[in-house]
Structure 1
């Protein structure tokens, strides 16, 4: 069983991205992985903005990322990139916090034009943090994510390819020592 941290970089309390990351975390748990979901918006804002890496919540998330075999990094698209909230956390990580890890980038947005943010914004930062392997990520249109009382319903055009990418991520993770 591998250890995975799923980062949700949406600042919104009613976020489709956050609901989607919960859905992906559940799928990865169903594959037998140990998964921790981190809603970056729930981390202490002062610690994030003041780059206080000694804050217990920031230190704990950093340690969880460093101990993980894989990381899923998800965000809505803002200004042709990932959210500033996610950027504040990624900036606090050590230079090679993702060294030896497999990473899966996932973005959500309102237009297919935003798909380029996957390869031109999110993938480069994951690479700069030393990710060993970045699997092909996926972009999901907002309108293809329906948040319900019991979770998420994905449009068929989004569900099959997204879950295929998640399953590929699951398969390429190293088998953790139990």
Structure 2
């Protein structure tokens, strides 16, 4: 799902790089070893990003411990100014809200500029085979494409001087009607 999202972003003209938290040394990750060169490189990669696509499995209504350990390494405002698209997979629909109740508050507390609507998929919606590769349920396929398009549009708006940034208006000029 994450790979497909990256490919779609590339087709829309965006550069992307992959950071797999599972590839970071577990000892350095859990001990918050900021002197580890791989940890430093991973943190620098996030710092340089304009957008971050966060993907995680969900188990027992929580995102992965490896992701939690990595997010804990980010500075207090480690996602400041960044767009974030959360993706997750889980065994059933009953874990879908874990993204909104567990992950979204953490991403927001890291000062993400905007956390886009989450995309959750059950195992039944994502299939993999050596012969055919990745196969996505039609509904999931559509939701991912919409999420990628929304992220792409937001990135383009940022480059143009964001539609979310407003010029200050003196209070004396503020008018309200109900």
TM-score, normalised via structure 2 length: 0.84
Q: For residue 60 of structure 1, report the CA deviation from its aligned partner.
A: 0.8
Residue 94 of structure 2 corresponds to: 113
Structure 2 gap ranges (5+):
161-178
1:164 aligns to 2:118 (yes or no): no
Q: Over aligned residue pairs, what C-alpha RMSD do you find?
A: 1.3
* Bigger RCO (CA 8 Å, 6+ sep): 1
How many residues end up aligned between the 2 structures?
A: 157
Q: CA deviation at 1:35?
A: 0.4
Render the CA deviation track for 1:1-58: whole Å, top value 9, x for unaligned.
xxxxxxxxxxxxxxxxxxx211111111111111011111111111101110221111
- Look up the match of 1:58: 39
1:136 offset after TM fit, Å?
0.8
Partner of 1:95: 76
1:120-172 deviation per Cα after TM superposition (whole angstroms, max 9, x unaligned): 01111100111011111111111111123364110112111121112111110
The whole-number CA distance in structure 1 between the counterparts of 2:103 and 2:86 is 7
- Structure 1 unaligned runs (5+)? 1-19
- Which one has the bigger strand percentage? 1
Q: Distance in 2 between matches of 1:37 and 1:88?
A: 18
- Which entry has the higher C-alpha Rg, 1 or 2? 2
What's the TM-score once normalised by structure 1's chain length?
0.84
- Name the SS of the counterpart of 1:36 in structure 2: coil
- 1:12 is matched with none
